[in-house]
Amino acid sequence: MNRISFAALLGSIAMFIWVYTAYELLPIGGIGLRRLPNENAVLDALQKNIAENSGIYLFPRLWLEANPPDKEFAEEMARYPSGILMYNAAGSRVNAISHWWLVEFLNELAEALLTVFLLSRTRLTTFGARLTFVLLVGVLTAIATNVGYLNWYGFPWSYTLVSMSIQVVGFLCVGLVAAFVLKKQTFGTPSVGGFLPGIWRATLRG
């Protein structure tokens, strides 16, 4: 294992530890989330009306119509609740939390590998510059995956800011580890034409 892949592996472990801590050990992971009032009645209604049809549901219905009239859309939004529902039918998902955390770690490993590879394509030489690069990747990722949900589906500001903060701090962990492990590593000249093959070369040979 070369330094680039080693830095990515250690960075992903650091990111995973932070994410696990944020959601399982600190109170910040639940900010913006609420329990359903009268949960049993709501779940019974969902099971009765949606049954086995797992999926993402948008309401009111005009969300899914092409170019709904502005006036009609505004009236429905004013008259009815609106939102997004991620519905999983009973027994349709793997229900082992350990499995979900394993997938989470693999996701963070992929993020770290891609981020450190992108870092290795730069000409940055100082610890601070490399840390800043990875941190900016984290900010970009947090914006791309959260602001749209806030804008289109009305996700709470509190949930959005906390989610973005957790992601950015996760990338900060990757950046600190990668910049430290690669502090003596000199990167080559970036090549646009060899971008995808470069991923494999960087991972396998460094």
In the chain, what percentage of residues exceed pLDDT 90? 73
**CA atoms in the 13 A half-sphere facing the CB of 136:** 8
Is the model's pLDDT at 184 over the cut of 90?
A: no
Total number of domains constituting the chain: 2
Question: Do residues 64 and 148 share a domain?
Answer: no
Question: Do residues 146 and 55 share a domain?
Answer: no
Query: Which of 50-54, 165-169, 173-177, 200-204 is predicted with the least confidence, judged by mean pLDDT?
Result: 200-204
Question: Do residues 74 and 162 share a domain?
Answer: no
Q: What is the mean pLDDT of residues 2-20?
A: 96
Question: Which of the pair, 187 or 129, is modelled with greater confidence?
Answer: 129
Distance from C-alpha of 145 to C-alpha of 134, rounded to nearest angstrom: 17
Among candidate residues 87, 103, 118, the one where a domain is terminated: 87
First to last CA, the chain: 9
Question: Which of the pair, 25 or 205, is modelled with greater confidence?
Answer: 25
Cα distances from 20 to residues 12, 146, 191, 199, in angstroms, run 12, 19, 36, 28
Domain of residue 157: give its range.
3-33+95-204
Question: Do residues 186 and 124 share a domain?
Answer: yes
Question: Do residues 128 and 171 share a domain?
Answer: yes
Q: What is the mean pLDDT of residues 6-27?
A: 96
Q: What is the structure's pLDDT at 18?
A: 98
Is the model's pLDDT at 69 over the cut of 80?
A: yes
Q: Which SS3 state, helix, strand or coil, does residue 111 take?
A: helix
pLDDT tens-digit readout, 72-85: 888 888 999 999 99
Question: Do residues 59 and 153 share a domain?
Answer: no
Question: Do residues 46 and 146 share a domain?
Answer: no
Contact (Cβ atoms closer than 8 angstroms) between residue 166 and residue 28: yes
Question: Do residues 129 and 29 share a domain?
Answer: yes
Q: What is the mean pLDDT of residues 187-196?
A: 52
The whole-chain average pLDDT of the chain stands at 89
Question: Do residues 78 and 100 share a domain?
Answer: no
Question: Do residues 126 and 68 share a domain?
Answer: no
Question: Do residues 60 and 156 share a domain?
Answer: no
Among candidate residues 68, 87, 106, the one where a domain is terminated: 87
Is the model's pLDDT at 1 over the cut of 80?
A: no
Question: Do residues 106 and 44 share a domain?
Answer: no
DSSP 59: E
Is the model's pLDDT at 191 over the cut of 80?
A: no
Q: What is the mean pLDDT of residues 113-136?
A: 95
Q: What is the structure's pLDDT at 61?
A: 84
Q: What is the pTM of this model?
A: 0.86
Encoded tokens for 7: 């830095």
Q: What is the mean pLDDT of residues 53-68?
A: 87
